[in-house]
Amino acid sequence: MLAISAPSFAEIGVAITFGPPAIPVYDQPICPGDGYLWTPGYWAWDYDYDDYYWVPGTWILAPEVGFLWTPGWWGWRDAGFFWNEGYWGPVVGFYGGINYGFGYFGVGFQGGRWDGGHFFYNRAVMNVNVTEIHNVYNTNVVVNNNTRVAYNGGNGGIDRRPTAEEDAAARERHVGPVAAQTQHVQAARSNPELRASANQGRPAIAATSRPGDFKGGVVAAREAGGRYTPPPNRGNQASGNNARPENNARPEAGAPGAENNAGRTNQYTHVRELPPAERPAAPNTGDAKQDQKYQKQQQKLYDQQQKERQKVAQQQEKEDQKLTKQNASEAQRQQQEQQHAQQTQQLQQKHTQQTQQMQQRIQPARPAGRPPK
């Protein structure tokens, strides 16, 4: 098992307990014009739906002459998957060893190069109309990384660490995604068909000619990159109308069908399978000082619970690995799974009770007759 030890990359959000689907197989739409650079598609995470969604590959104008795109990537660390944001810079850095295709085969970039202020496209891997774009060349590329796994480290992930040069690239002058990319991501996030629960790893919009345009120049995935098997009770387990993301959203507390967390824990065997913990809502008692005090208390509890999750998840994983090395019998494995399931349930019940007690302490603090702002 590989883990990226140091958070030397721009990690985004909290840990996700299961990895994204494999990179789907799709064709690259034709380059819309000279100067556009390819940014490969990837799986992003939507916290509102607890689901991965596909951000289609697209052509983007570089923010600066000489800049290339280093794709973002998912990496395993501290019992969870973290997203490492992509960036523009003069050198392509580490992107997890992920084979995104079209020049991004896990190491560096073989799709083109800057020369004399112009970008030259490698026609061996880039779809370019040579009647309109003449700055091209043709160099065949041998791809040794044929896996379509979309994450680094963890069980089944890409086993590769950054070189000194790739590590240095992340520290050189670079900029994050441009506005067109950010808008492109938001458009993808708002499209229910791009959620893994709906497309099972085979999105109908795998790539687009221009960012944010999901109607013209759209390319569908030819096939999924591999079987998508998230933990139970995720959206992809649904069928028919239940497969729609809006039917898989988290119900509000007290709403019909919103069983308390303690009633659902027996469906999870390991802590790593639990849904990501939601961050506490900001207190709104009408007293700014009190709100600040309660918010600190909430954050302290949240951080403590996250540490407990990580500790138990790591211990469970060690115990599973130990049984594997010992070639344990099926009966021993089942016994350990029962113990882990009970342990997971107890931890989740404990955290649920702690959170509820915290909310109960906050609610009475609201002055009588004074509604929240």
Please write the tens of the pLDDT for every residue from 277-315.
Answer: 766 777 777 778 888 888 888 888 888 888 888 898 888
pLDDT at 12: 53
Residue 353, pLDDT above cutoff 90: no
Question: Is 124 in contact with 139 (CB distance < 8 Å)?
Answer: yes
Share of the chain above pLDDT 70, in %: 82
pLDDT of amino acid 263: 30
Q: Quick one: average pLDDT of 98-107?
A: 96
Q: What is the pLDDT of residues 42-97, one digit of tens each?
A: 999 998 888 999 999 999 999 999 999 999 999 998 778 999 999 999 999 999 99
Range in 13-27, 96-110, 198-212, 225-239 with the lowest mean pLDDT:
225-239
| pLDDT on residue 233 | 53
What is the pLDDT confidence band of residue 345, given thresholds at 50, 70 and 90?
Answer: confident
The pLDDT score that the predictor gives to residue 82 is 92
The predicted structure's pLDDT at residue 296 = 86
Residue range 338-352: mean pLDDT, rounded = 83
pLDDT number for residue 237: 33
Mean pLDDT of 255-280: 54
Q: Is the pLDDT of residue 140 over 60?
A: yes
* More confident call, 321 vs 150: 150
Q: What is the pLDDT of residues 181-194, one digit of tens each?
A: 999 999 999 999 99
- Predicted confidence at residue 363, as pLDDT, reads 61
Give the pLDDT confidence score for residue 303 in this predicted structure: 85
Residue with the bigger pLDDT between 14 and 5: it is: 14
Q: Does residue 254 carry a pLDDT above 60?
A: no
Q: 111 and 166 in contact (C-beta within 8 Å)? A: no
Confidence of residue 249 (pLDDT cuts 50, 70, 90): very low
Q: Is 245's pLDDT higher than 80? A: no
Does 251 score more than 80 pLDDT? no
How do the domains of the chain map onto residue ranges? 11-208, 261-365
pLDDT at 203 over 60: yes
Task: Measure the CA–CA gap between 15 and 273, rounded to whole angstroms.
Answer: 11
pLDDT score of 13:
52
How large is the average pLDDT for residues 107-123? 96
What is the residue-averaged pLDDT of the chain?
A: 81
